[in-house]
Amino acid sequence: MRVGILGSGLMGGKLGTIFARAGQEVIFSYARSQEKLKRLAQGAKGRARAATPREAAQDADALLLAVHWSRIEDVLNQTGDLSGKVIVSCSLPMNADDTGLVIAHSSSGSEELAKMVPKARVVSAFNTVPSEVLFGVYEARRKATRPSLVYCGDDESGKQVAAELIRDVGFDPVDAGPLRIARYTEPFALLVAELAYEGEGGPELAYRFERFGK
């Protein structure tokens, strides 16, 4: 599949690199310098290139949205029409200083995003994991026990695409249901971040969310 990366920072840079190594074709876009996008594409060691958000959106089968909440409007303006596109969003609706969620309880960032692009197929995924663990999970992907990763969305084919990308990274995808479940997974992501960055266990403790009974 061809995956467009909208936001090539900590999450987008790492996930895009892993998708390319897993065999997907990746288009890195949306960073402050074109040089950085080119460096990421070269370093991905797979089929990867740098492009504008518009090119990434036009050419991709699926898009990973990985920008700060304050940049969503800007990136969506740059992509143009996203009708029919699968958007896998790891973006959390954080305030400017990243101390809290600006949307919670009665809605979620993912649901608000879906309202902004009503003809796109939005799936919420990857936001419950700290970027620091992604390469480690990928390296360990052939081990018998894989850490789980929850995702949610309203479009079944979009969710299948997200599940494939989650497997590519080395997680066991857990379908948490419709997009409104993001009201619970997004606050959960803050707990994960608290454990990863403030707690004593570090990121490796935070991502080991597993299903019982397996």
User: From the CA atom positions of the chain, what is the Rg in Å?
Assistant: 16
69 binds ligand NAP (CB under 6 A): yes
By residue count, the chain amounts to 214
Kindly give, in sequence order, each residue whose CB lies less than 8 Å from that of residue 65, ignoring residues fewer than 6 positions away.
Answer: 6, 7, 72, 75, 87, 88, 89, 90, 91, 113
32 binds ligand NAP (CB under 6 A): yes
Which two structure tokens, joined as six digits, stand for 56? 């990434």
Which two structure tokens, joined as six digits, stand for 90? 């790891």
- Annotate each residue in 135-174 with x if it binds ligand NAP (CB under 6 A) or - if it does not, as one string: ----------------------------------------
11 binds ligand NAP (CB under 6 A): yes
State the minimum distance, in angstroms, from the CB of residue 144 to ligand NAP: 26
Which two structure tokens, joined as six digits, stand for 143? 């081990």
State the minimum distance, in angstroms, from the CB of residue 30 to ligand NAP: 5
68 binds ligand NAP (CB under 6 A): yes
90 binds ligand NAP (CB under 6 A): yes
Out of 44, 51, 66, 166, which residue is the one contacting ligand NAP (CB under 6 A)? 66
**Distance separating alpha carbons of residues 116 and 138, to the nearest angstrom:** 32
Identity of the residue, 130 or 158, whose beta carbon is nearer to ligand NAP in the bound complex = 130
- Annotate each residue in 100-129 with x if it binds ligand NAP (CB under 6 A) or - if it does not, as one string: ---------------------------x--
Provide long-range contacts, Cβ within 8 A and 24+ apart, for 195-200: 196/130, 196/132, 197/130
Q: Taking the chain, what is the end-to-end CA distance rounded to the nearest angstrom?
A: 30
128 DSSP assignment: T
State the residues that interact with ligand NAP by CB under 6 A: 7-12, 30-33, 36, 66-69, 71, 90-92, 94, 127, 130-131, 189
